Structure 1
Amino acid sequence: MMHLNDKVPEKIGRIAELAYNLWWSWTPEARGLFRRLDYPLWRKTLHNPVQMLQEISPAKLHQAAQDSTFIRQYNKVMMLFDETMNNNGTWFHETYPDLGDKTIAYFSFEFGLHNSLPIYSGGLGILSGDHAKEASDLGLPFVGVGFMYPQGYFRQRLPSHGWQEAVYQQLDISQAPVLPVLDGNGHEIRISVNLAGRPVHARIWHVRVGRNPLFLLDTDVDENEPWDRELSARLYSGDSETRIRQEIMLGIGGVRALRVLGINPSIWHMNEGHSAFLILECIRELVAQGKNFEEASSIISKRSVFTTHTPVPAGHDAFSFHLVEQYFNGYWDELGISREHFLGLGGHEEEWGMAFNMTVLALRLSGLSNGVSKLHGEVSREMWQEVWPSNSADDVPISSITNGVHVPTWIAGEIHNIFDKYIGPGWLKEHDNSKIWLRLAEAPDEELWLVHLALKRKLMGFLRERVRSRWVNGSNDPTQVLTSGTLLDPEALTIGFARRFATYKRATLIFRDLERLQRILLDIHRPVQIVFAGKAHPADEPGKSLIQHIYNLAKHNQLGGRIAFVEDYNMHMARYLTQGVDVWLNNPRRPREASGTSGMKAAINGIPNLSILDGWWVEGYNGANGWAIGDEREFDNQDAQDEYDANSIYQLLEDEIVPLYYDRDRDGIPRGWVEIMRESIRSNAPMFGTRRMIKEYTTELYVKAILASEATPA
């Protein structure tokens, strides 16, 4: 940040400080400031203020410093920024005034905060990022721990044959909102972890997420061997050995990073099992202080919270005993237990044999555990009953807190303005209060509809401009020009489907009866079109096959340009899609979706969901705010389930959704449709925001853990 400060005129000198705090990314006034500074550059950098300030001309900065209107806006934003950072008057501060020094450490393998920091792959990372942002908004004493992936997750490229290719690009860290953590002499702070007999070192990066820090470990340092420098290079790549090394570094290294920074958390929260080795490191510290293993594990258990996100057994990390022995030989001696006892902490029978399961380790050693929706809680209790063999499934100690989305991040500016106007300018502070949303009835149908049409035009413009720019720079072939959205009709009913391409999400379900779908899409009076986006894991061949199938259909002229597949889905694109389509489609195989959050983003923007009654939608659907595919049945025969659900989609489109969308009055307003949009917002905005979610985590997990640990001090 130093060289940026040298470049920026003193009158607007703190704009660099603002650029390095991601608070700007969910604060309209701050985004407006950067937009005003240089709008073409704002667009070119995909809304990255750090890159903007590096590339902007000194003349432009001096011009802004002399612009009285810009200075007024700058002063207003910095005043708001300082008030926010002050942390007084927040929900946590007022509700738990005596717990302000009880730090909550939140560990996650990925954090989806902004597209300028691509260290996320999908829903888990976006949830972690939203969790961190809301923790800041509510004033929680919170610190995040994760990895700095210099190559991030892969960039998706679709050649003319449609088979996904993974392209890894080195992140220019100088253009990202991250800063190295330095000691008093200006040197980078390092930690080290023993991996199979040799120390592996990591530097620490600092990301400012509003009021709270996020620390990211990075093994790409000179002290390490070349293969160790690559350890944190990429997200979700490599074999089991790479994965266990990453998870040791995250769990054990993450604890050591906080210790060297002088941070001693009261609560350790593991978001998924990837970081579960942190519990062992915390136990090891207490054993070194004189406790035995049972005493230490009892103390740490009371301080540990574990959230599981995966309702599929194969989705939980498990390592062979041989691999665990290779990396933990000698470590169990430091815990004061035997090899057999150590392996038993995570021992679990997998399909391929006995193994060390990270979820089992976390469940056994955490005092509080939860799933991420009511249905997922039920599934998890049944799935992990064997960890508590004397308990019935109902008595398995896994609760549930349904996921949410960070409303300020995902709400469209135009929708935000409508809420300011009709709900009140203070709506954001109490958006988890369902009563305030009754005021949305005062917003005229015409206004809601015109705002939606404006957002739909923005989506279509974004897709066309994306294709044009890629065509100009030579990264698009002619096929992609046709398949990536340029042929879409801005007037047609537009369905959005964007998420990770895993087979259980059934991306191609709507194509099961292609002839019937064609009739729906190509109706000249009531046309329908579908936009797809999403990545398959680089090792997921069936997922890549689904992408290729849709891509080839998008090329098919018999579908009249009504199918588009937009490559390289990311947070930036997600905002346009979840704000600009007409219907959000989600059809996973029930009950395999733990929660899902993309549909929540659509719902709060007035985009009705067309979804299976799985994950969050079982709780969100009320009969008037969207549509339910099928019912709550679960099938033994997958083909029968697919047939049943596909027919339900077609029938809903033919009989309800398409007719309602095109039923316009004399003013061209689809009154019935707008009422569903309104109800989608009214019913879902208070329930499925991270504000409600973090308050539940705080009262149901964090505070309970703090009280339990204080009752049994170390």
Structure 2
Amino acid sequence: MAKSFRDKLFALAHNYWWCWQPDVTSIFRDLDAAKWRELDHNPVLLLESLTEDLLEQRARESVLHSRVNYAYRRCEEYLHDKNTWGALNAGILGQKPVAYFSAEFGIHESLPNYSGGLGVLAGDHLKSASDLGVPLVAVGLLYNEGYFSQQIDEDGWQREIYDPVSNHRLPIQKAKGLDGKDVIVKVDTRTGSIHAQAWQVNVGRVRLFLLDTNIEQNTPEDRRLTARLYGGDVRIRIRQEVILGIGGVRALAQMGIVPNVVHMNEGHSAFATLELIRQRMNDDGMSFPDAMRETTEMCVFTTHTPVPAGHDRFGYDMIDEHLGPTADQLGIGTVGLIGLGRVNVADPNEPFTMTVLAFKCSRRANGVSALHGMVSRRMWTGLWPNKAEHEIPIGHITNGVHLGTWLAPQLAEVYNRVLPPDWKQRSGEADTWKNFESISSGEFWEAHEALKQRLIGMVRRRMITRAQRLNHDKKELIELESLLNPEALTIGFARRFAPYKRADLVLKDVAQLAGIVADSERPVQLIFAGKSHPADDFGKGILQRIFKMSQDPAFKGKVVLVENYDMNLARHLVQGVDVWLNNPRRPLEASGTSGQKVVLNGGLNCSILDGWWAEAYDGLNGFAIGNGRIHSNQEIQDERDAKALMKVLQEEVIPLFYDRDEHGQPHNWIKHMKRSVRTLGWRFNSDRQVMDYVMKGYIPAAGGEYCEMDRFH
């Protein structure tokens, strides 16, 4: 039976494929633009808010019937297309897919299941796996209150707001097992069982399964286990990770999904390896050593954290309470299990570390940039005491970003004129971009300027909304309507306000910065956004310092701090800024992906030579802060980097931006923009990233081709 107009809309709404299809997104927006924005771009809520009659009226007014029919047909063709890159290159994964585990997934702002870069990276990985047709399913947790909504009070202090989200109001549905019943898993601990229900999120061709403990089988305490992302103490953390790893593998088994490869995105999901070993012992009668060897062969591990403090660690009692029953089933006891999570197995004072377990149970492991791979080999030499540092089996696959999600549709139309007809399907290949620099400079610049105007409009709206919440007077509301100068060099800084990211580095010399932003001939303005972890008062203090500077008469209207950084604000920022500022304390930025999103949209990076930028910068595709050297004294390093930042702004960035011809176009700046897109757009692209994982990790782990040194290069 043919689907009705409304049924087709709901079908589109329940597959997040729509969120990287501008023409489909525009259908939802055209139904009711104001409500679409008010509902955080949630298509299910939007459709439920419209009666049959009102929906039909809007459809007639906006001529939507043919557009919906076309979108639905395109979606169906996409979902059932067998002629994909994955079908040609990853056939070994066809019947037994990759299972990709992550503690967070940033698919879209309507599904607040992410806190920052790690989750958005995971979301982009799924989207590219879908576009490429790579057989992959994903497993995570469903956070009923998400991370948090950020409010900045009158004094500039961050306040966290947790708003419960009803699952039935999201574009998700309950996962079903082979028996047709809801998938509910149980994990035993020494002090009782924890239960979780699986929900299914469709991300194009990829199924994402999210586990939710807010069900009646659990105690009140355990019902809140999946309430918040990164919001609890160490006990909540280990219980979340038990559900993610052990519960996740069991949920897949209930659905009849037998993975060929398990990819752990960070150590949070490392307990999955223990359940895989247990299943092999039970199903195939293997001994523990044999089952562990077989499991290790099929596991791929990506580490993201370049500092020891960033890895989850648990004491003996915590491990025994939560993993004791598993240890007994494995026949190794708690002492034996804890040894799997220690560098020095015999050291009773060394805690259990999730990253160590993941390394020991994975044949293939990688960092997320070339520099991070080197840092990781140095950090974990103790796990391979008989190997030289360069022989440590930790390689790297540098992160990338999803073109369909982050490239502005307006620019995509411009790119269509110079790139091959199938360029979006081959965006992760260098040859696709070879003619990019023939793009019309005028058209490229005009599109960029329009996106900057759009960004400024959004910043104004968000600042007005905050001012209204705080009951500011009408005069200030009127002033905010003209906040920021569309003609000024606009620098963006948006990321987690972790201390090592040094959001306040630009404030080291306030007088010098004041002189820069006060220049009426060459105006400069800065837009800041980002959240600090709820428990990080030091990070909140940095945020507050930037806010107070933005209120200083010398900086007011030229330095802006926008509250509640999310994927929607991120899109506007990376698509609209002229320059993206990134100044972490090298080498603590494992990769970073925000600047890669800016690249796709023609913005230029001004960054410390850390993470991805250390392998991307060529002298003509952006700007480098400093020379990449590290001082042993942190204070001296910060001082040196702050001076280098001011130097590059004053001597390179600002002069190049304001070097204009008689028509007001900065031709040399545009040359840098073109070179940045051509040289970096394919390299730091999640299609290229996923293809690398398939060829260097997934296929070898599934028993395919040999991977040299069993290490990613």
Flag whether TM exceeds 0.5 (same fold): yes
Partner of 1:79: 73
Cα pair 2:96 2:257 within 8 Å, conserved: no
**2:184 and 2:706 mapped to 1: Cα distance?**
31
1:603 counterpart residue number: 599
Return the offset for 1:64.
Answer: 5.2
RMSD of aligned residue pairs (Cα, Å)? 2.3
| CA 79–354 in structure 1, closer or farther in 2 if over 3 Å, else same | same
User: Matches of residues 109-258 of structure 1 in structure 2 within 5 Å?
Assistant: 109-182=103-176, 188-258=182-252
TM-superposed CA distance for 1:485, in Å, is 9.1
Aligned equivalents of 1:524, 1:360: Cα separation in 2: 55
**Please, which of 658, 675, 680 is the counterpart of residue 676 of structure 2?**
680
Task: Give the CA deviation at 1:68.
Answer: 9.5
Structure 2 vs 1, CA of residues 483 and 312 (structure 1 numbering), >3 Å: closer, same or farther? farther
Match of 1:330 among 308, 313, 325: 325
Query: Of the candidates 605, 614, 620, which is equivalent to residue 618 of structure 1?
Result: 614
CA shift in 2, pair 1:470/1:425, >3 Å: farther
Q: Which residue in the other structure is 1:356 paired with?
A: 352
Q: State the alpha-carbon separation in 2 of the partners of residues 187 and 207 from structure 1.
A: 17
Contact 2:5 2:68 survives alignment (8 Å): no
Alignment of 1:632-647 (within 5 A): 632-647=628-643
Match of 1:96 in 2: 90
Aligned to 1:651: 647
Kept in 1, the 8 Å contact 2:107–2:124? The answer is yes
Look up the SS of the partner of 2:526 in the other structure.
strand
CA shift, 1:486, in A, is 5.7
Moved more, 265-274 or 78-87: 78-87
Instruction: State the shift of 1:186 in Å.
Output: 7.4
Q: Secondary structure at the match of 1:428?
A: coil
Contact 2:176-2:255 within 8 A present in 1 as well:
no
SS of equivalent residue, structure 2 residue 350: strand
Q: Secondary structure at the match of 2:360?
A: helix
Q: Which amino acid aligns with 2:221?
A: W
After TM superposition, list the pairs within 5 Å mapping 1:221-620 onto structure 2: 221-289=215-283, 290-348=285-343, 353-472=349-468, 474=469, 477=472, 487-620=483-616
Give, in whole Å, the separation in 2 of the partners of 1:182 and 1:656.
Answer: 58
- For residue 197 of structure 1, report the CA deviation from its aligned partner: 2.8
**Comparing 690-699 with 647-656, which one deviates more in the overlay?**
647-656
* Aligned counterparts of 1:607 and 1:684: Cα–Cα separation in 2: 12
Aligned amino acid, residue 591 of structure 2: S
Seen in structure 2, the aligned counterparts of structure 1 residues 9 and 519 have a Cα distance that, compared at 3 Å, is: same
- TM-aligned CA deviation for residue 67 of structure 1: 6.9
- Asked if 1:662 corresponds to 2:661, the answer is no
TM-score (normalised: structure 1): 0.95
Distance 1:699 1:480, change over 3 A: farther
SS at 1:529 equivalent: strand
CA distance in 1, matches of 2:655, 2:236: 53
Separation in 2, partners of 1:476, 1:149: 32
TM-score using structure 2 length: 0.95
Q: Indicate the larger mover: 165-174 or 139-148.
A: 165-174
Could you tell me how far apart the structure 1 residues matched to 2:394 and 2:79 are?
A: 35
Distance 1:581 1:363, change over 3 A: same
- Give the drift of 1:399: 1.1
AA aligned opposite 1:556: D
* Aligned partners of 1:147 and 1:216 also within 8 Å: yes
Which residue type is aligned with residue 495 of structure 1?
I
Structure 1 CA distance for aligned equivalents of residues 561 and 203 of structure 2: 33
Runs of 5+ unmatched residues, structure 1 = none
Q: Secondary structure at the match of 1:14?
A: helix
520-529 or 415-424, which deviates more: 415-424
1:697 maps onto 2:688 in alignment: no
Question: Which whole-Å CA distance do the structure 2 matches of 1:449 and 1:149 have between them?
Answer: 41
2:464–2:480: 8 Å Cα contact kept in structure 1?
Answer: no
Question: How far did residue 561 of structure 1 move?
Answer: 2.2
SS in 2 for 1:253: helix
Quick one: structure 1 residues 594 and 483, their matched pair in 2 at CA, closer, same or farther if it must change by over 3 Å? farther
Does the aligned pair in 1 maintain the 2:90–2:694 contact within 8 Å?
A: no
In the TM superposition, residue 336 of structure 1 has moved relative to its aligned partner by: 1.6
Check conservation: 2:154, 2:470, Cα contact below 8 A.
Answer: no
- Counterpart residue type for residue 119 of structure 1: N
Equivalences for residues 3-18 of structure 1 within 5 A: 10-18=4-12
Is contact 2:581–2:606 with CA below 8 Å preserved after alignment?
Answer: yes
Contact 1:484 1:565 in 2 (8 A): no
How much identity, in percent, do the aligned residues show? Answer: 44
- SS of the equivalent of 2:18 reads helix
- How many residues align? The count is 704
Q: Give the Cα separation in 1 of the matches to 2:181 and 2:392.
A: 48
- List gaps (5 residues or longer) in structure 2: 708-713
Contact 2:699 2:705 in 1 (8 A): no
**CA distance in 1 between partners of 2:646 and 2:455 (Å):** 25
Contact map agreement 1:521 1:527 (CA 8 A) in 2: yes
